[in-house]
Every structure is written in C-alpha cells, then in structure tokens.
Amino acid sequence: MGYQKYRAVQELSQSTAEVSEIVFFLLGAMTIVEIVDSHQGFKLVTDNISTRNPKTLLWVIGFVTFFLSSVLDNLTSTIVMVSLLRKLVPPSEYRKLLGAVVVIAANAGGAWTPIGDVTTTMLWIHGQITTLKIMQGLFVPSVVSLMVPLALMSLTSEANGSSQTSSSLLSSEQMAPRGQLVFAVGLGALVFVPVFKSLTGLPPFMGMLLGLGILWILTDAIHYGESGRQRLKVPQALSRIDTQGILFFLGILLSVGSLEAAGILRQLANYLDANIPNADLIASIIGVASAIIDNVPLVAATMGMYDLTSFPQDSDFWQLVAFCAGTGGSMLIIGSAAGVAFMGMEKVDFFWYFRKVSGFALAGYVAGIITYLAGQNIPLSLPTSLADIPFITGS
C-alpha cells in the first residue's frame, strides 16, 4: 500500500512538472504576443497588404497567415488576420471564404515550427522532435497542404467575383509609441527560444520567460511615468491573455497523464499496433480524429502510447503526428482553436464551413501527407548528384 502511494505521488510530481513546462511556455508566449498586439505592432504586417484583386488577396492572406502562424500560435494569428479582414473587406461570402483561408493557413503554418502550435511545442519540449529536423521535414508538406486548398478556392465563384474593399478603416488605429521596437523585440524573443534551448540545454519555457522579462523591462522603460499607458505594460497584458485556455490545457494534460500512469494508453497502443500494422496510417488517423477531438489531448495521448523506445527522436512517425494533428484540425471548423475563433468572430456556422471548405481542407491534408511520405521514401541527394547532370558538368 505504502509503495503504491509513493509511486502515485511520484507519477503526479512528474506529470505536473512536465505539464507546467508547457503551461509556463504558453503563458510567456501569449503575454509577449498580447504586448505586441496592444502596441498595434502587427500593423507593420497588415498595412503592407495593399492588393485589391480578390484572387490575389486570397493567396496573399493565405501566405501572410502561414508565415505569421509559424512564429505566433494559430489562435493569435487567426485573431490578427480576421481583424485585418474586417478592415479590408466588407461583410460578404467572399470575406467568409478569406476567413476560412486564414484557418487553413494558420493550422498549416503552425505545424512546421516548434513554436507555431501547442502540439508541436509539446512534442518539442518532451524531446520527440528537434527544431531543424521538424522544419526540414514538414515545411514542404505544410506549404502543399495550404497551396492545394488555395488553388481550388481560386476557382470558386466567390474568389472570381468583384470585391469592393474599404481601405478607409485601416488608418483609424495608430501604432503606440515605440510600437515598431516592441514588435521587433517581441518577435525576436519568440524566435530566440529554440536558439536558447540549443545553446544552453535549458528547457524552452525558461527562454520564453527570459524574453518576456526583457520585454517587460523595455515596455516599463518606454512608458515610465505615463499613467495613461498602463494597458501597454505587462501586468495589464497578463490580465487580458486567455487564462481559461491555459487552464483547459492544464486539466487535459493532467488527465492524459493519469491515463498514461494507469497503463491504459499503453494498452491502446498495443491494440492499434496489433490491428493497424502501419505507423503512417496510425498518424493519419490521429489527424482525422483531430478534426473532431481537440488535438492537444490527442497528441498528449499519442505521446503516452508510444515512448521514444517505440519511435526514436525525429522519426517519421513523430513528424507525421505533428503534421497530421496540426493540419487535420482544418477539416471541420470545430477541429482547431483557429476554427473556433473564426466561428466566434465572423458568426460562421458549422454547416457553411462543412459545405464550402471541408472538402478543400481534406484535399490539402491528403496532399500534404502524400508529399511527406514521398519526400521520406525518395531520398533527395541533390548536392551530390548535381555533378551527374550533363549540362552542369559540360559533357
């Protein structure tokens, strides 16, 4: 009895420590993004979108969101881009379609960097993936999973209609004092985290909190003595971030931890291995399931089912799980935080998204998986084989 109690306490301590790393990481990241947003720092990105052609705007919005989401989390990227769309395009079917592009692009962009999505961050913190390998392995599949839906959407009547855009609203919000500096330091702090981890070997949340500390000192120095600018400082930003979402992750991850400690996830893994012999297929099924179930518990459960002895660090399985869980959520509007945010902001209903967008998102998802598997199974040895090409060697 005493041993079981000791083991339970040990398991709880270990789970709490692992989950806390993710929670502190998210707290730091969300606060940095909130500070940049309160200084209107993202206007640097959004003010440079000047195209008025509906089809071009579709592609521009897609790729701006894709790269924004690779540094910010999907939810923040979606909120920033949908807010921009409200200023660029009047309410219409076309604006809804652009919003759907933002959701697909945010989920695809988050999949290929360790800081772009909660699920990839979890896999990175726990050592299943490393920064350079995940970026090398998933960049092209992520681009494909965005380009296929964009190409198909470009053919729809909404994208080919005439679009009346309203640019008068764009200049209404002014950037806060030193907004550009805050944007540069905030973005630098986020990008610095993987570098910090590889240089020091310390956990990523410490790098994120270090970045937040630097930004805190900077914003306090900029706004010192200005009583009207309290909302631009870190204490106020901390009160505005999505604490409910973070507590949700805390509860979910501890629940999954208890299932893992009880051995239930191991049994599920054995069952899947016995009935589905192909690991790639298991990862693809996880992605489809993430369209219905939240991808955080799914990935946490997968990490509990398969340890690093089953699939070593940076194996195809972990990369495919990161890709599928990230992009699979685009297939239904309820499948990702980005989709739910878009649903709330633009009052889009489940069935409109299902009719108009789910098919495109599924096509992108399948194309991305095929691209990834093709890339892994066809070894690309370009640098060594270039000399064999006749016109380069001159033969």
Confidence at residue 83, expressed as pLDDT on a 0 to 100 scale: 77
Distance of CA 101 to the CA centre of its chain: 15
Average pLDDT estimate for 193-207: 86
pTM for this predicted structure: 0.76
In this predicted model, what pLDDT tens digit does every residue of 4-39 receive, in sequence order?
Answer: 788 888 888 888 888 888 888 888 888 888 888 888
In this predicted model, what pLDDT tens digit does every residue of 295-309 receive, in sequence order?
Answer: 788 888 888 888 888
Average pLDDT estimate for 81-101: 85
364 pLDDT exceeds 90? yes
Instruction: Give the Å distances, CA to CA, from 272 to 32, 267, 280, 283.
Output: 40, 9, 12, 11
Structure tokens at 290: 């993430």
In this predicted model, what pLDDT tens digit does every residue of 331-352 receive, in sequence order?
Answer: 988 888 788 878 877 888 889 9
Residue whose pair of structure tokens reads 């509990």 in the numeric block:
304
Average pLDDT estimate for 108-134: 88
238 pLDDT exceeds 70? yes
Instruction: Give the Å distances, CA to CA, from 175 to 181, 210, 264, 355.
Output: 11, 25, 52, 39
The residue among 266 and 214 whose pLDDT is bigger is 214
Confidence at residue 385, expressed as pLDDT on a 0 to 100 scale: 40
143 pLDDT exceeds 90? yes
Average pLDDT estimate for 250-257: 82
What is the DSSP-derived secondary structure letter of residue 174? P
Confidence at residue 162, expressed as pLDDT on a 0 to 100 scale: 55
Q: Give residue 258's pLDDT band: very low, low, confident or very high (50, 70, 90).
A: confident
Per-domain residue ranges for the chain?
6-160+178-377
Q: How far apart are CA 123 and CA 319, in angstroms?
A: 9
In this predicted model, what pLDDT tens digit does every residue of 148-188 receive, in sequence order?
Answer: 999 999 888 776 765 554 444 444 566 677 888 998 998 88
